[in-house]
Amino acid sequence: MAIPQEFISELKMRTDIVDVISSYVKLKKTGRNYTGLCPFHGEKTPSFTVSPDKGFFYCFGCHVGGDVIGFIKQAENLDYVESIKLLAQRAGMTVPENTADSGLSRLRTRIYEANRTAARFYNKQLYTEEGREGLRYLRGRMLADSTITHFGLGFAPKSRFALVNHLREKGFTKAEIIQANLANETRNGNPIDRFTDRVMFPIIDLRGNVIAFGGRTMIKDFKPKYLNTSDTPVFTKGNNLFALNFAKNEANGTLILVEGYMDVIALHQAGFRNAVAGLGTALTPEQANILRHYCNEVILCYDSDNAGQMAASKAIQILRPMGLDIRVVAVPDGKDPDEFMKTFGDQGPARFRMLIEKSGNDVDYRLDKLRSKYNTELTDQRVSYLTEAARLIATLDSSIERDVYISRLSRDQGVSKEAILEQVNKIARKNSAGAAKREFRELKKQMTSESSAISREKYVPLGSARAEEALIALLMNNEDIAMEVIKKVSPELFCSPLNRRVYEAIKGNAEKGYDFSLTDISGGFSDEENSRIAQMLFSHTRENDPKRAAEDYIRKMTDNSQRITPDQVASADEDELRRMMEQIKKKKA
């Protein structure tokens, strides 16, 4: 049973799409609409548009669009029903109890509940005799009891069945426990605890749900030192950040990005409550997009060893295209933030703040790294350094920023500014040409993709498709004339399968007395299809004379429906071909 349409309509009335999206994207009013940087792909020039009048969004860059439910689906990685639940909670509404959730939605709910139960279990174990070793470890890392409580830290016992037995007593099934990745299945089919003899770090999403765990072993030299929850229906490593649920409220435009759980916790305890960390993987574009929602500047503070510095370099390459300002903090003596705080004790916070204040931006950091690779007293190495430096500077978008670094490079290396500028411009032109070719190839690939439901549509005459889309946009913008049009137009008149389904949804809602904005019909379409519908609505403006425009579109559709397409000819048998010939003769007559 679907969510009642009356509930969807009420939810739509109580939900301001601009207000919802503003909590994810910084929007600027532009005429009747709002624009901002798209949260679904990296861009520096805003192409993301929100229409409060029509109740939908559309990005002219990546062509993603839809209603407020579709936005939440993609921004929060939820299914349709859970997106409605989130919006309903936001609006102070309760989704009707008789609503039958999808199987996946029910499973996700149970996994959230199992994770919450597991987090409480682990935390209690920390204060038992068996968990004393874990508590000693945490206190040895100079964590206060209040910090342990704040982050909900815990301990997984050595027994392979401690959590499994506890969860089963609480009513969770074997399948639910395994789907949550709280247990693994043995060869004989029995579930055993995934985490044993480890200090536990719960990972919490922005809505306060426990979505996963990280566990540090208590056994010396045991591998892996840290074990994380594998991807589940509620958790994807590359789409989440540790402690963002706390840090987002303390960001004030800046987030500190570190490598490990303990680094984050040590910084929070020291007063740097805007620190976050990845989840055992290198920084992903998805995580960078999330960071961009909550800050304008990222302070990178990775470990000072080779692995940490390589990770920092890769992170810069992902963060910079997002339009974020980047600074890089170098912790001295090869220490990480946690070790730094322990070394300096009470002076740690003040000293760390000094490191932040002295930190340079990412370009300074990368140029310094390049410089350290070469002995510029030797001519050939000097040329290699200058060539690599020019390649780096060529990636900068700002001409002012380029000029600053070219001037500095010229002064430091005793090479004319003009020579460096010529090399930078040459590389930039080559980069631009290569980027254009890649963009064209990607666009062509998307347009011809075999996986695209829209690109697989049968041949539709261009004039008919445009008239169909214009009529759909007109109906959604002028509900007062809908019934009059619906009485005249049969769904069979639509050549495009997608357009026909959209019209059938509008027709069905109109005949039941429901609204039929994008929000009202979006549940019956995929994300890709909703994006296409949003594009239709943005492509066709309001008509001054809707009735006359509707008649014109219907006439064009009728004319085009009588055309015979190449697909029809190719698939027709002898009798059908004969009927087609008769149709052509009648039209000529």
Pair 324, 296: CB distance under 8 Å: yes
227 φ, ψ (degrees, to nearest 5):
-120, 130
Q: Give strand ranges (E) for 158-294.
A: 183-185, 191-193, 198-204, 210-217, 226-228, 253-258, 275-277
Average pLDDT of the segment spanning 507-522: 82
Report percent pLDDT > 70 for the chain. Answer: 88
Closest to 388 measured CA to CA, from 408, 414, 409, 403: 409
| DSSP state for residue 539 in the 8-state scheme | H
pLDDT, tens only, 402-423: 999 999 999 999 999 999 999 9
Distance (Å, rounded) from C-alpha 55 to C-alpha 369? 49
Instruction: Work out the pLDDT band at 447, boundaries 50, 70, 90.
Output: very low
Per the model's pLDDT, the better-predicted residue between 449 and 27 turns out to be: 27
Q: What are the residues whose beta carbons fall under 8 Å from the beta carbon of 95, sequence distance 6 or more?
A: 3, 7, 81, 84, 85, 88
Q: Which residues pair with 227 in a beta bridge?
A: 215
Of 555, 562, 559, 552, which is closest to residue 474 (Cα–Cα)?
552
Band the pLDDT of 263: cuts 50, 70, 90: very high
Rounded Cα gap, residues 422 and 428, in angstroms: 10
pLDDT tens for 296-341 read 899 999 987 788 888 898 999 999 888 889 999 988 887 889 999 9
Under the banding of pLDDT at 50, 70 and 90, the label for residue 539 is confident
Q: Is the pLDDT of residue 234 over 50?
A: yes
Average pLDDT over residues 357-386: 90
Predicted pLDDT at 509: 85
HEC readout, 295-344: EEEEEECCCCCHHHHHHHHHHHHHHHHHCCEEEECCCHHHCCHHHHHHHH
Strands 360-361, 33-36: pairing is unpaired
> What are the CA-CA distances from residue 586 to residues 552, 557, 563, 575, 581 (Å)?
23, 18, 12, 17, 9
What rounded mean pLDDT belongs to the chain? 86
Q: How far apart are CA 326 and CA 363, in angstroms?
A: 9
Sequence letter at residue 350: A
**Dihedral-angle region of residue 298 (phi above 0 means left; psi in -120 to 50 means alpha; beta otherwise):** beta
Instruction: Note the pLDDT of residue 85.
Output: 87
Residue 513, Cβ neighbours under 10 Å: how many? 7
Q: What is the pLDDT of residues 237-248, one digit of tens each?
A: 888 999 999 998
Q: Which stretch, 252-261, 317-326, 438-447, 509-518, has highest mean pLDDT?
A: 252-261
pLDDT classification of 117: cutoffs 50, 70, 90: very high
